[in-house]
Chain A
Amino acid sequence: MNQHTSIKAATGWRRWVYTTNHKDIGTLYLWFSLIMFFTGGLMAMIIRAELFQPGLQLVEPNFFNQMTTVHGLIMVFGAVMPAFTGLANWMVPLMIGAPDMALPRMNNWSFWILPFAFLILLSSLFMPGGGPNFGWTFYAPLSTTYSNDNTAFFVFAIHIMGISSIMGAINVIVTITNMRAPGMTWMKLPMFVWTMLITAFLLIMVMPVLAGTVTMVLTDKYFGTSFFDASGGGDPVMFQHLFWFFGHPEVYIMILPAFGIISTIIPTFSRKKLFGYHSMVYATVSIAFLSFIVWAHHMFTTGMPLAGELFFMYSTMIISVPTGVKVFNWIATLWRGSITFEVPMLFALAFIVLFTIGGMSGLMLAITPADFQYHDTYFVVAHFHYVLVTGAVFSIMAATYYWIPKWTGNMFHEGLAKTHFWLSLVSVNILFFPMHFVGLAGMPRRIPDYALQFADFNALISIGGFAFGLSQILFVVVIVKCIRGGKKAKANVWEDAEGLEWEVPSPAPLHTFSTAPTIK
């Protein structure tokens, strides 16, 4: 402690650029994620504006494709993943009683390369030829033979994002392994810390494979290799195998921390201990393991042998067992609890219901023969937006409302926050629920125009989209108001919330747990 006070702390912009403090870096990640959420959101608004009516009104089809592609990339790599890394940076040291992350300088680096990655990606939108237009999944040969000359910018952006994620993940693992307060055994770790640990392992296992895959796209496109080019002896289907070997665990990278957040919030506002802590840990590990053996369920229509289709169908369905365990445990935690409906709890409850809807449609997609009908339709779009928006994004909002009094020292404006919640809840369902119907009726995804019979539903979806987009401005208002002032928050913001983070004062001082706490 004395060491720190003797060094003159950097101020102004230097504080943020030079920082090695986990709380400052966490804050940077969270702001970055919010900016990206609005950037990707703006693209979603363009998509929905074009789809408001059948026919082409606002944008060229090629630009429309760039919007769907970059929207996906921004939301996955720019909004959801950095938000979880930011939450991990802020909360993991506080939850395990550590003074900081284990590798603070690497922490600084892993954040500060991220804005450059997205600058590179976004800048390609303004170059002649435009940005990537082959979908966030960048299937070969769309991304090799048929892509524009700016594809290298996309590839290098992914490389940088990958390096950033891997460094962030290594930091999380080392911190959790080595810096737990004495007495905090593995089975006493808070659920959020467990889920971040497992997520970090998933990251270092799959991000390098993604890096390899984009490198192959790069050499295929610019250096004459033929990893994915059939005329040179390659195989475009192999691209899909490589991509989904990364892509499926990536899905769980974006949802496991959400499970951790919900498992933290539900007990607090039910005033009970989490039901089945051990089974929660094992379920998380099982989901992580299973995520590696289900990848080809994204590829049922590529012409796999029957045995393969059956294997991937059953292994996918098995995932619903540990996921079901989790949902069961949350409901069992609620059972006979003294439940109150503060804003974080509202988001958590909405998560349970809406994520389960997303899980159910996932189960429908897992059925191979049915998938031939659903594949590449809006049904898939509905499915993954239910798990990612009302799943991952709602959990991030829940986490923000849950911990923001700890971060700022002020309570947020509850009325505005509740308005944000209800507007989001209603609009998000108007936005995504009808997508199930148009998808089942056969509307393909990633198209700028559609058949006339889908017009009414699409208009409705777009209205829901604009409403959801506008509602998020309220989220920013609540956050900014909370930073500027408000009712002072106590150390333990939510009555009897459990966890070491509630033992430090609010706002959490820059340096906490310089001496390790004792774990009962």
Chain B
Amino acid sequence: MNNKKLTIKLIAFALAMLLFGFSLVPLYGLLCEVTGINGKIIGASEKNTNIRTSTQTSEQVVKLQILTHNQGPIPIQIKTDKIEIYANVGQEYLISFEATNTGSKDIVIQAVPSVSPGLTAKYLHKIECFCFAQQAIKKGETVNLSLNFYIDELIDPKYKQMSLSYAIFDISDDIKPEKWHQLFPENIKIAKVSK
């Protein structure tokens, strides 16, 4: 092979590796989704069609702990009455949260869930979750947030405990002014001077 041909091939190879680097992003997402190894839950699940009636109790119970924590100093307080529940497998549960904005500004938050052990994430089906959407909370306001889920009957019985942890991010800075106006119709976003 002459120099020119080989050089072109090697440059093409380097460019292909650049492409490969970027393609690792969707590949990583796919791998995590298929294997569930990083405890991520993606999107909403269908309603459980073969739900047992609430009078029936499943013999299999999973202790689910529910945690929320603010990622950084955010003036948001989230409370729930159920920090842990003994969930019957296959049964639907509704958990409600109260989020209060204790700060002096309107805030938009995004909750990011994470399940531990990671491999159980795919068995935790969320029908409705406040983490599916951005939540706009006015200053001083308290809003109700909800989570509706069930644990899949296919879950390995060796898992007796799970935790569902929400990291709360303040994403106010990433919201564009028009979107801001939709979220807070009566207020116009005041440009923040500093982060």
Contact = CB atoms under 8 A, between A and B. Distances in A.
A305 B119 CA distance: 8
Interface in A222-241: 224, 227, 230-232, 235, 237-238, 241
A390 to B, nearest CB: 32
A206 B1 contact: no
B17 A209 contact: yes
A178 B1 contact: yes
B23 to A, nearest CB: 9
A36 to B, nearest CB: 24
A178 B6 contact: yes
B38 interface: yes
B174 A232 contact: yes
Interface string B109-136: 0101000001100000000000000000
Identify the interface centre among A206, A210, A213, A231: most chain B CB within 10 Å of its CB.
A231
Given A209-B21, A241-B28, A170 B11 contact: yes
B15 A208 contact: yes
A231 B169 contact: yes
B169 A206 contact: no
B118 A170 contact: no
A215 to B, nearest CB: 8
Contacts of B188: none
B138 interface: no
Interface string A160-195: 000000100110011001100000000000000000
Contacts of B13: 204-205
Interface in B8-29: 10-11, 13-15, 17-18, 20-22, 24-25, 28-29
B37 interface: yes
A170 B169 CA distance: 45
Contacts of B37: 304-305, 308
B7 interface: yes
A173 B25 CA distance: 29
A292 to B, nearest CB: 12
A102 interface: yes
B3 interface: yes
Nearest to B111: A231
Contacts, number: 88
A305 B10 contact: no
A245 interface: yes
B51 interface: no
A238 B33 CA distance: 13
Interface residues of B, number: 32
Nearest to A106: B7
A291 to B, nearest CB: 15
A518 B28 CA distance: 52
A212 B3 contact: no
B21 A230 contact: no
Contacts of B20: 208-209
A232 B167 CA distance: 12
A231 B107 CA distance: 14
Nearest to A245: B24
B118 A177 contact: no
B83 interface: no
A125 interface: no
A231 B171 contact: yes
A304 B118 CA distance: 9
A103 B3 CA distance: 8
B2 interface: yes
Given A208-B21, A209-B20, A245-B24, A177 B1 contact: yes
Contacts of B110: 231-232
Contacts of A177: 1, 6
Contacts of B24: 209, 238, 241-242, 245
Nearest to A308: B37
A207 interface: yes
Contact of A242 (B2, B7, B21, B32): B21
A207 B167 contact: no
Given A232-B174, A235-B38, A242-B24, A206 B6 contact: no
Contacts of A305: 37, 118-119
A173 B6 contact: yes
Contacts of A212: 18, 21-22
A415 interface: no
Contact of A170 (B2, B14, B22, B29): B14
A80 interface: no
B6 A166 contact: no
A242 B29 CA distance: 13
Interface in B64-118: 71, 110, 112, 118
B6 A211 contact: no
B2 A178 contact: yes
A211 B22 CA distance: 10
A303 interface: yes
A305 B21 CA distance: 24
A142 to B, nearest CB: 13
Identify the interface centre among B7, B21, B71, B169: most chain A CB within 10 Å of its CB.
B21
A343 to B, nearest CB: 37
Interface string B32-64: 100001101000000000000000000000000
B7 A170 contact: yes
Identify the interface centre among B6, B15, B119: most chain A CB within 10 Å of its CB.
B6
Contact of B6 (A174, A216, A245): A174
Contact of A230 (B11, B18, B167): B167
A207 B14 contact: yes
B169 to A, nearest CB: 3
Contacts of A173: 6, 10
B21 A174 contact: no
A224 B15 CA distance: 25
A95 to B, nearest CB: 19
Contacts of B174: 224, 231-232
Nearest to A209: B21
Interface of A: 102-103, 166, 169-170, 173-174, 177-178, 204-213, 216, 224, 227, 230-232, 235, 237-238, 241-242, 245, 303-305, 308
Given A206-B17, A230-B167, A305-B119, 12 more contacts: A166-B14, A170-B10, A173-B10, A177-B6, A178-B3, A204-B10, A208-B21, A212-B21, A224-B174, A231-B174, A232-B171, A235-B32
19 contacts: A173-B10, A174-B10, A204-B14, A204-B17, A205-B13, A206-B17, A207-B17, A208-B15, A208-B18, A209-B20, A209-B24, A212-B22, A231-B171, A231-B174, A235-B40, A241-B28, A245-B24, A304-B37, A305-B119
